[in-house]
Amino acid sequence: MTRKRVVRETVSLYDAKTNLSSLVERAAAGEEIVIAKSGRPRARLMPLEDTRALRVSGKGKGRWRVGRAFDAPLPDDLIRGFEDSK
Q: Domains in the chain, ordered, with CATH? A: 1-48 (3.40.1620.10)
DSSP secondary-structure letter at 83? H
As beta bridge partners, residue 25 has none
User: What pLDDT was estimated at residue 33?
Assistant: 95
Q: What pLDDT was estimated at residue 7?
A: 63
* pLDDT-flagged residues of the chain (< 70): 1-7, 85-86
**In this predicted structure, what is the pLDDT of residue 3?**
56
Whole-angstrom Cα distance, residue 32 to residue 46?
5
| Residue 14: predicted pLDDT | 96
Residue 43 backbone dihedrals phi, psi, to 5 degrees: -155, 165
Q: What is the pLDDT of residue 49?
A: 82
